Protein backbone atom coordinates (compact mmCIF):
# COMPACT_ATOMS: atom_id res chain seq x y z
CA UNK A 1 0.00 0.00 0.00
CA UNK A 2 1.41 3.37 -1.04
CA UNK A 3 1.45 6.05 1.64
CA UNK A 4 -0.02 9.47 1.05
CA UNK A 5 2.12 12.59 1.09
CA UNK A 6 0.73 13.51 4.54
CA UNK A 7 1.59 10.07 5.90
CA UNK A 8 5.13 10.31 4.58
CA UNK A 9 5.53 13.73 6.20
CA UNK A 10 4.19 12.31 9.46
CA UNK A 11 6.74 9.47 9.18
CA UNK A 12 9.62 11.95 8.92
CA UNK A 13 8.41 13.80 12.01
CA UNK A 14 7.83 10.56 13.92
CA UNK A 15 11.37 9.42 13.15
CA UNK A 16 12.76 12.80 14.23
CA UNK A 17 10.79 12.72 17.49
CA UNK A 18 13.01 12.86 20.54
CA UNK A 19 16.10 13.64 18.52
CA UNK A 20 17.70 16.88 17.52
CA UNK A 21 16.41 17.86 14.12
CA UNK A 22 19.19 18.62 11.69
CA UNK A 23 20.17 18.69 8.06
CA UNK A 24 18.94 15.15 7.35
CA UNK A 25 15.39 15.93 8.49
CA UNK A 26 15.42 19.20 6.58
CA UNK A 27 16.58 17.39 3.43
CA UNK A 28 13.85 14.76 3.79
CA UNK A 29 11.14 17.38 4.27
CA UNK A 30 12.51 19.46 1.38
CA UNK A 31 12.39 16.38 -0.87
CA UNK A 32 8.75 15.79 0.03
CA UNK A 33 7.97 19.49 -0.44
CA UNK A 34 9.55 19.40 -3.90
CA UNK A 35 6.95 16.82 -4.93
CA UNK A 36 4.26 19.47 -4.47
CA UNK A 37 6.05 22.33 -6.17
CA UNK A 38 7.31 25.73 -5.06
CA UNK A 39 3.88 27.35 -4.75
CA UNK A 40 2.29 24.84 -2.38
CA UNK A 41 1.42 26.38 0.99
CA UNK A 42 1.51 23.12 2.92
CA UNK A 43 4.91 22.21 1.48
CA UNK A 44 6.30 25.60 2.53
CA UNK A 45 4.79 25.15 6.00
CA UNK A 46 6.55 21.80 6.41
CA UNK A 47 9.83 23.26 5.17
CA UNK A 48 9.48 26.06 7.73
CA UNK A 49 8.76 23.61 10.52
CA UNK A 50 11.85 21.59 9.71
CA UNK A 51 14.06 24.66 9.92
CA UNK A 52 12.32 25.84 13.06
CA UNK A 53 12.86 22.47 14.71
CA UNK A 54 16.52 22.59 13.68
CA UNK A 55 16.99 25.89 15.51
CA UNK A 56 16.93 28.09 12.43
CA UNK A 57 14.09 30.48 13.26
CA UNK A 58 15.13 33.22 10.82
CA UNK A 59 14.89 30.78 7.90
CA UNK A 60 11.62 29.43 9.27
CA UNK A 61 9.99 32.87 9.57
CA UNK A 62 10.31 33.59 5.87
CA UNK A 63 8.88 30.20 4.94
CA UNK A 64 6.00 30.52 7.43
CA UNK A 65 5.13 33.89 5.91
CA UNK A 66 5.25 32.43 2.42
CA UNK A 67 3.00 29.53 3.45
CA UNK A 68 0.47 31.96 4.90
CA UNK A 69 0.59 34.12 1.78
CA UNK A 70 -0.01 31.05 -0.41
CA UNK A 71 -3.03 30.07 1.70
CA UNK A 72 -3.18 27.20 4.16
CA UNK A 73 -6.23 25.15 5.08
CA UNK A 74 -7.95 25.71 8.43
CA UNK A 75 -6.06 22.84 10.06
CA UNK A 76 -2.59 24.10 9.20
CA UNK A 77 -3.10 27.89 9.13
CA UNK A 78 -3.37 28.30 12.92
CA UNK A 79 -0.44 25.94 13.43
CA UNK A 80 1.61 28.06 11.06
CA UNK A 81 0.68 31.29 12.85
CA UNK A 82 1.52 29.77 16.25
CA UNK A 83 4.89 28.57 14.97
CA UNK A 84 5.59 31.90 13.26
CA UNK A 85 4.87 33.81 16.48
CA UNK A 86 7.08 31.42 18.43
CA UNK A 87 9.94 31.84 15.97
CA UNK A 88 9.59 35.62 16.12
CA UNK A 89 9.80 35.35 19.91
CA UNK A 90 12.96 33.27 19.59
CA UNK A 91 14.44 36.01 17.40
CA UNK A 92 13.57 38.69 19.98
CA UNK A 93 10.95 40.32 17.73
CA UNK A 94 8.47 40.54 20.61
CA UNK A 95 6.23 43.30 19.28
CA UNK A 96 5.76 41.53 15.96
CA UNK A 97 5.24 38.19 17.70
CA UNK A 98 2.58 39.76 19.94
CA UNK A 99 0.80 41.30 16.95
CA UNK A 100 0.76 37.95 15.13
CA UNK A 101 -0.47 35.94 18.12
CA UNK A 102 -3.08 38.51 19.20
CA UNK A 103 -4.55 38.54 15.70
CA UNK A 104 -4.76 34.75 15.81
CA UNK A 105 -6.32 34.93 19.28
CA UNK A 106 -9.17 37.02 17.86
CA UNK A 107 -9.52 34.94 14.72
CA UNK A 108 -9.69 31.55 16.42
CA UNK A 109 -11.03 32.35 19.86
CA UNK A 110 -13.15 29.20 19.83
CA UNK A 111 -10.86 27.09 17.66
CA UNK A 112 -9.05 23.90 18.59
CA UNK A 113 -5.71 25.72 18.93
CA UNK A 114 -6.90 28.42 21.34
CA UNK A 115 -4.92 26.98 24.27
CA UNK A 116 -1.77 26.70 22.14
CA UNK A 117 -2.27 30.32 21.06
CA UNK A 118 -2.58 31.36 24.71
CA UNK A 119 0.53 29.40 25.64
CA UNK A 120 2.63 31.13 22.98
CA UNK A 121 1.09 34.48 23.92
CA UNK A 122 2.14 33.89 27.55
CA UNK A 123 5.67 32.89 26.51
CA UNK A 124 6.06 35.98 24.34
CA UNK A 125 4.98 38.26 27.17
CA UNK A 126 7.35 36.55 29.61
CA UNK A 127 10.24 36.79 27.14
CA UNK A 128 9.42 40.45 26.53
CA UNK A 129 9.90 41.21 30.23
CA UNK A 130 6.22 41.15 31.14
CA UNK A 131 5.98 37.87 33.09
CA UNK A 132 2.96 38.85 35.18
CA UNK A 133 0.95 39.57 32.03
CA UNK A 134 2.16 36.24 30.63
CA UNK A 135 1.04 34.42 33.76
CA UNK A 136 -2.32 36.16 33.51
CA UNK A 137 -2.80 34.95 29.91
CA UNK A 138 -1.90 31.40 30.95
CA UNK A 139 -4.29 31.47 33.93
CA UNK A 140 -7.14 32.82 31.81
CA UNK A 141 -6.57 29.96 29.34
CA UNK A 142 -6.85 27.46 32.20
CA UNK A 143 -10.03 28.91 33.72
CA UNK A 144 -12.47 27.17 31.32
CA UNK A 145 -10.90 23.82 32.24
CA UNK A 146 -11.46 24.25 35.98
CA UNK A 147 -14.41 22.48 37.60
CA UNK A 148 -15.13 25.57 39.75
CA UNK A 149 -13.70 28.96 40.73
CA UNK A 150 -14.10 30.58 37.32
CA UNK A 151 -15.06 34.00 38.63
CA UNK A 152 -12.39 34.24 41.33
CA UNK A 153 -9.56 32.87 39.16
CA UNK A 154 -10.49 35.26 36.36
CA UNK A 155 -10.37 38.16 38.79
CA UNK A 156 -7.00 37.02 40.17
CA UNK A 157 -5.58 36.69 36.66
CA UNK A 158 -6.59 40.25 35.81
CA UNK A 159 -5.16 41.49 39.11
CA UNK A 160 -1.81 39.76 38.45
CA UNK A 161 -1.58 41.29 34.96
CA UNK A 162 -1.53 44.76 36.47
CA UNK A 163 1.76 43.95 38.24
CA UNK A 164 3.68 44.55 34.99
CA UNK A 165 2.16 47.96 34.35
Q: How many domains does the chain have?
A: 1
**Residue 149 belongs to some domain of the structure:** no
Surface-to-core class of residue 5, CB atoms within 10 Å of its CB (0-12 exposed, 13-18 middle, 19+ buried): middle
pLDDT digits (tens, 9 = 90+) for 136-146: 999 999 999 99
If one counts every other C-beta atom within 10 angstroms of the C-beta of residue 3, the result is: 10
**Residue 68 belongs to some domain of the structure:** yes
CATH code at 19? 1.25.40.10
Helix (H, G, I), strand (E, B) or coil at 37: coil
**Residue 151 belongs to some domain of the structure:** no
Name the residue range of residue 61's domain. 5-92
| Lowest-confidence region among 17-21, 106-110, 129-133, 153-157 | 17-21
Give the C-alpha separation, 58 to 158, whole Å: 34
pLDDT digits (tens, 9 = 90+) for 52-91: 999 999 999 999 999 999 999 999 999 999 999 999 999 9
Is this structure's pTM higher than 0.85? yes
Q: Please give the pLDDT value at position 21.
A: 86
Amino acid sequence: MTKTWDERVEDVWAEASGEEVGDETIARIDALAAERGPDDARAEFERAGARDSAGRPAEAVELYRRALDLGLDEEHRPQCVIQLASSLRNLGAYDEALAVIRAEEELSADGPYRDAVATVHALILASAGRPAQGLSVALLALVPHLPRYHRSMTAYAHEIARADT
